[in-house]
Chains A and B, each alone.
Chain A
Amino acid sequence: MADTVVVGKSVVRTDAAAKVRGGAMYGVDVRFGGMLVGKTLRAGIPHARIVNLETSAAAKVPGVRAIVTGPDCSRRHGLFQKDQPALAIDRVRYAGEVVAAVAAEDEEAAQEAIERIAVDYEELPGVFDVMEAVAPGAPLIHPDQMSYERAQVTGLVLNPVPDSNISYHFKLRRGDVEAAWSQCDLVVEDTFSTQFVQYAHLEPHVTIALYDATGVLTLWTSTMGPHTVRDMLADLLQLPQQRVRVITNMVGGGYGSKMYLRAINPAAALLAMKVPNRHVRILFDREDEFLSCAGRLPTRTTMKTGVKQDGTLVARQSTIYWEKGAYADIGAVIVRNASYCSLGPYRIPNARIDGYLVYTNRQPGGGFRGLGIPQVSWAGEQQMDRVARELGMSPLALRRRNILGEDDVSVTGERMHRVGVGECLERVAAAIGYERPLERTAPSGARRGRGLACILKSTLTPTASFGFVKLNNDGSVDVITSAVEHGQGAHTVLAQIAAEELSVPLDKVRCVMPDTSVTPFDRSSTSSRTTFHMGLVVKEASADVRRQLLDMAGAVIEVHPRDLEIRDGAVAVRGAPDRALSYGQVIARFYGGPGTVLGKGVVNTKPLYDTMNAETGQSSRPSIFWMYAAIGIEAEVDPDTGQLTVGRMASAADAGKAINPLACVQQIDGSAIMGLGMAMMEEVAFDGGRTLNPTFLDYKIPTTVDVPDTDVIIVESGHDEGPYGAKGIGEPAIAPVPAALGNAVYDAVGVQVKDLPIRAEKIYRALRAKGEERG
């Protein structure tokens, strides 16, 4: 590859100046004169039939302009299975479900109206545990699920089990697991569980909706997927897509939240349609975030692994119950993609996986950074350490023996290339001195231990993305895509690519904000997919601009385009650098005045995708790229109290090629620390279907005093189709953290915690149980 000027450099983020000045415009900062205040009413009861819903008293509150309830929209929405009403109709399936919404002239009137809505419920028996939900005779949360409308998305079709709470069953069958157990020298089996985790993005969900006189419904909303919101709303409301316009500004954190139709979008849209020409704004407060939105799917995994005495993996079987809560949403993709990744980044000839997506009466989980991999690697990577211990091997040696490398075949049957996981593992192991002796006792008396874990993760495939690059009269450039800047640095990376391809300074490039009436389709800025997909789009669109420029310049100066080149931001005649025209001059002379050059880019991963076999989970290419990461942790445990302290953490992820190394460091480090929160402290606590800790006071996430010093390592294994060899980096480093910490705890004090999060009291209890066992 030729030397690059901007690509591969740690340039300062293009949004940094505005952000440190407080001038960046987020969804919450959008305001219009005379906006109505929208508010929602949550059910507060986890499973019930709505007997009566009375809004007449609320309607009489002065200043109230509109009230909507479930029957205002009879259609349902859902990515794979349309199971979710805009607002609850007839039945409530989780306590945070929105049953009514009002729009009023001010906050006080809206609040008073909400309080005057009277709802009579007939409480129904609820299901709050995933194993109870799959037990025979469990109350059915969606008795009508077999009749729901279904759609195929990313090669996946739901297969609900009749008369059950299971909406999807993923199967992977490879080799002959039953026969394989008898060839193993050691077989171990464990059951692990993971908890419900909140996104805790600081900018709340916010939506402003306007239904204008031309019949266009416009939403200014904080979302990671403007077109997905548009498509789902258009379908829900039965409006043509060009009459639903979704505009997104800077997003103050997402991590997988702010996708699809959370209750906020339909509620705001339905209110706006009742009061045309008025802006209706709904801003979720922190309690709404905790109760009405989503989070990480809890899991219960039973895993069995068989090996030869020399550590060669022979077979692995996992059965994973994924608790989806009240509605299916993106759940099936999580179940499929994470279940097949539960086998880890290893060569395993015999495998059997069953993953079940299960409804309960708790709040719906959703896609969350790492998309299920933190949950499955919590099981798989702790079990690797157990296998190593029982074989008397080093956990690192066991991983080395089995880890995927070039030309190895994965568990789905794919021949793998440019596999960076081995390098990630080796480099974190080196960073924490994994193979060096460790002073086992700290000066405080705490016991020290070290742990490793590594993972692989797929990205949504197949998908298609589109975009434009527009060259202006003065040589400045607009990148016109629907890529959302939610903190991941997408707009900086895309600007770098356009600057590189068009040979213009970075400050001449600007990425516009998504607007579905203007910026072309992109599914979402999720799944770590933007650098790869939008990077390719911008690269191709820039090349299109270059081609047109050469043609135009050739016509202007009467030279064949092949004798022209783009050089230093101008079109020059090869071998005659003095005969150069600036881009502005080319446009002005070609058109005899102002004009523009518009380049188009398209990426479609369908031709490279191999549809996964629904019965065997086999596919020669299930994902357009693979993410790899590893984590190494050194931790201390107080043997008397179980108090756990992380001393240091090294994280590595494979960027393919780092377009902006600093941005990669940001993503890897931030992802790993988020993983530490999940590993050590974060847990939404439920009493049946009710959330007990819906505030930051009671739901703890890491702060400056909780985080260790970190080492961040970027591995660059390249990618044959990615832009400059780049691929996604936003998610993978979160995933190995819980298991790496669990392994460090075992290494320190010899007990294994199997249920996340790893809290001091769990270690303490395990230590006591172990002490009693020994007598």
Chain B
Amino acid sequence: MNRGPDEPMKARIELTVNGERREALVPVHKTLLEVLREDLDLTGTKHGCELGECGTCTVLVDGEPVLSCLALPAELEGREILTVEGLAQGGRLHPLQRAFAELGAAQCGYCTPGILLVARALLEATPVPTREQVRVALAGNICRCTGYTKILDAVELAALRMAGRTPVATAAAGSAR
């Protein structure tokens, strides 16, 4: 890529992130992932491949999962962006976050933010999904540590709790025999 001596063209953008209006002056080609991490200090959103192949950088835009490494902020003005930092309400963890922590669905934790957000979108649309529905919803998010079992368990547990159906056996013992 050839570049002139001038700075790259910058644009002032205004985004709604986690319910707050945020402004940034950024080069127009910067991705949402880069703006979130570098300009808005929201480093909870992680980058895995920056090619749209691993799901790590997923955020929600108007409630739908979007790969932030492929999204341009200029196209998202006026839309509601939700990142992992916006999942908890005040000090209170979202039921998905609580279930992921309790069941051990996060190991290295690097894929966790993206998976939490996809799961949240799933539970908005399908409050008590079948295991197969959870599998399909999360099929675009790679996790290399867990083998997924605990992630599937945690989404199911959170769904039951959110639906007011608290399962009898929770958490910590997991499926250890």
Contact = CB atoms under 8 A, between A and B. Distances in A.
B83 interface: yes
Interface stretch (A163-171, A248-256, A338-346, A511-519): A248-256
Contacts of B88: 21
B53 A669 contact: no
Nearest to B146: A670
B104 A13 contact: yes
B97 A10 contact: no
A111 interface: yes
B144 A19 contact: no
A31 B39 CA distance: 12
A662 B176 contact: yes
How many interface residues does chain A have, given as a range? Answer: 35 or more
A10 B97 CA distance: 18
Interface in B129-153: 134-136, 138-152
Interface string A195-211: 00001111110000000
A696 B150 contact: no
Contacts, number: 216
A671 B174 CA distance: 16
Interface in B1-15: 1-3, 5, 8
Contact of B46 (A12, A28, A658, A702): A28
B102 A202 contact: no
A28 B47 contact: yes
Interface stretch (A148-156, A435-443, A482-490): A482-490
Most chain-A Cβ atoms within 10 A of its Cβ — which of B85, B104, B116? Answer: B104
**From DSSP, what is the main secondary structure of chain B's interface residues?**
loop
A62 B5 contact: yes
B159 interface: no
B50 A285 contact: yes
B177 A712 contact: yes
A62 B8 CA distance: 13
Interface stretch (A385-393, A472-480, A703-711): A703-711
Most chain-A Cβ atoms within 10 A of its Cβ — which of B8, B46, B152? Answer: B46
A697 interface: yes
B46 A16 contact: no
Contacts of B175: 665, 710-712
A105 to B, nearest CB: 11
A203 B112 CA distance: 12
A16 B42 CA distance: 18
A5 to B, nearest CB: 15
B164 to A, nearest CB: 22
Contact of A13 (B98, B101, B136, B142): B101
B84 to A, nearest CB: 3
A448 to B, nearest CB: 21
Contacts of A21: 44, 84-85, 87-88, 93, 97
A124 interface: no
Contacts of A487: 107-110, 145
B88 to A, nearest CB: 6
Contacts of A547: none
A12 B85 contact: no
A115 B173 CA distance: 54
Contact of A696 (B3, B49, B108): B49
Nearest to B136: A705
Contacts of B142: 200, 202, 696, 701, 703
Nearest to A664: B176
B176 A10 contact: yes
Given A13-B101, A22-B84, A200-B144, A665 B176 contact: yes
B51 A695 contact: yes
B113 interface: yes
B153 to A, nearest CB: 11
Interface in A41-75: 62
A665 B104 contact: yes
Contacts of A204: 47-48
A658 B102 CA distance: 18
Contacts of A115: 1
Given A11-B172, A20-B97, A705-B139, A666 B1 contact: no
10 contacts: A10-B171, A22-B84, A25-B43, A108-B3, A111-B1, A203-B108, A255-B144, A665-B150, A665-B175, A671-B147
Given A15-B106, A17-B93, A26-B110, 19 more contacts: A20-B96, A23-B85, A29-B43, A115-B1, A200-B142, A201-B108, A255-B144, A285-B50, A286-B50, A487-B108, A661-B173, A666-B150, A670-B147, A673-B149, A696-B142, A701-B144, A704-B139, A710-B175, A712-B175
5 shortest A-B CB distances, which residue pairs? A22-B44, A487-B108, A673-B147, A19-B109, A252-B110
